[in-house]
Amino acid sequence: MKRASMGKMTDGEEKEMKSYEQEGKVQFVMDAVYAMAHALHRMHRELCYGYPGLCPRMASIDGKELLSHIRAVSFNGSAGTPVVFNENGDAPGRYDIFQYQITNSVPCRAGERKKVVKGVPCCWHCERCEGYHYQASEFTCELCPYEMRPDVNRTGCVPIPIIKLEWHSPWAVVPVFISMLGIIATSFVIVTFVRYNDTPIVRASGREMSYVLLTGIFLCYAITFLMIATPDVGVCSFRRIFLGLGMCFSYAALLTKTNRIHRIFEQGKKSVTAPRFISPASQLVITFSLISVQLLGVFVWFAVDPPHTVVDYGEQRTQDPLSARGVLKCDISDLSLICSLGYSILLMVTCTVYAIKTRGVPETFNEAKPIGFTMYTTCIIWLAFIPIFFGTSQSAERVSVCVISMCVCV
């Protein structure tokens, strides 16, 4: 420092000063010297107050007296920390506290469980709960109840949304449009028949059977609205009644007609006597007897299995739980549906057989051939309808497949 005060330091001296680093324990030596100096200064003020230099009283002191003054000193040390001593002459302790942390595994996110590494209990792997499982605890995933699915975070279960066929859906609009056209056309024909009820043409066509046939066609179109309506006990009951009843009306009337024509010409080959039960009243009795079988089957169905609704979660239970849906529908099994429509199909097949047998009748009985053509095309449509309907997954759109096929069939 003396050299520095005499002049400017050289570059080498500046580098030497910049590279100087004090050893960590030097501050304690300096503080000890300062403590001794402060103690002597304190002692001088007490023993030699106002006397410069060493007074006679300080000449004869011993170490114990100096020690008492050393213990009484208090000043800021070279490191800026206070230097004091307790009654035992000890300086306050100084500690550097270091906290060491080690993380063997990171915390798992929501929807993940901890899979502990075998043999290392403090280590784990995070494994996501897949499918319809949710995080039940820190270490387990559990399956949600059948009617529920995991939430977005997979920390719990929420109910699966329930859907049904809506009136504004394209699957519903198309059948309703076709049915409305059919109902309007059928109503127009019925009004025409009523207006010209006593004319020879209407009477020759068999008014009674024609009205029964038109009633069946009208019911087939009207069932469309029951198939689209929101399922409940009432709607499900009417579905069971009218699902096969409309076709039963139609096929029973056609079967009675073709059977009448067949019996008339078969009897004519044997004798000139007219066969029995060919009057309009007899035809109505036969027709409604055939229809009563369908109604009897429906009532037995009601007794064995009362109508009710059910939510089907099976067919719409996709691999992605967020896409899962429950379908609200009437509890009508495929077997029950086959049994309900089976009788109408039997009438249709029987009517087709009679249509084939009467295909060679004279032109004056010209309704036999149109009936035969109708039966041939109907059989083809039904052959296409059955595999399409029963091969379609159980969804809200399956009802529309049934309705559209039925409308086309009619």
The tokens describing 199, both together, are: 């004319």
Q: How far is CA 93 from CA 68, 82, 86, 99, 157, in A?
A: 20, 12, 11, 19, 58
From the list 332, 325, 102, the residue with the least C-alpha distance to 237 is 332
Query: Rounded to two decimals, what is the model's pTM?
Result: 0.65
Cβ(329)–Cβ(399) under 8 Å? yes
Can you tell me which residue has the tokens 């002597």?
Answer: 40
Structure confidence at residue 3 (pLDDT): 41
Name, in order, each residue with C-beta under 8 angstroms of 285's C-beta and a sequence gap of 6 or more.
277
CB 140, CB 165: distance < 8 Å: no
The per-residue pLDDT for 180 is: 92
Whole-number Å distance between alpha carbons of 166 and 175: 12
Kindly state which CATH superfamily the domain 163-409 is placed in: Rhodopsin 7-helix transmembrane proteins (1.20.1070.10)
pLDDT at 2: 38
* Three-class HEC string of the chain: CHHHHHCCCCHHHHHHHHCCCCCCCHHHHHHHHHHHHHHHHHHHHHHCCCCCCCCHHHHCCCHHHHHHHHHCCCEECCCCCEECCCCCCCCCCCCCCCCCCCCCCCCCCCCEEEEEECCEEEEEEEEECCCCEEECCCCCEEECCCCEEECCCCCCEEECCEECCCCCCHHHHHHHHHHHHHHHHHHHHHHHHHHCCCCHHHHHCCHHHHHHHHHHHHHHHHHHHHHHCCCCHHHHHHHHHHHHHHHHHHHHHHHHHHHHHHHHHHHHHHCCCCCCCCCHHHHHHHHHHHHHHHHHHHHHHHHHCCCCEEEECCCCCCCCHHHCCEEEEECCCHHHHHHHHHHHHHHHHHHHHHHHHCCCCCHHHCCHHHHHHHHHHHHHHHHHHHHHHHHCCCCHHHHHHHHHHHHHHC
Domain edges within the chain: 31-95, 112-159, 163-409
> Per residue of the chain (410 residues), what is the pLDDT tens digit?
334 444 555 655 565 656 667 676 788 888 888 888 888 888 888 888 777 877 877 777 778 888 888 888 888 887 778 888 877 777 777 777 888 777 777 888 888 898 888 877 778 889 999 999 999 998 899 999 999 999 999 999 999 999 888 888 887 888 889 889 989 999 999 999 899 888 887 787 778 888 999 999 999 889 888 888 889 999 999 988 988 898 899 889 988 888 887 787 776 666 666 677 678 888 899 999 999 999 999 999 899 889 999 888 877 788 888 888 888 888 887 778 777 888 888 998 888 888 888 777 666 666 667 777 777 777 777 776 666 666 554 555 555 555 555 555 55
Model pLDDT, residue 189: 92
Instruction: Answer yes or no: are the C-beta atoms of 161 and 154 closer than 8 Å.
Output: no
Which pLDDT does position 366 carry in this prediction?
A: 60
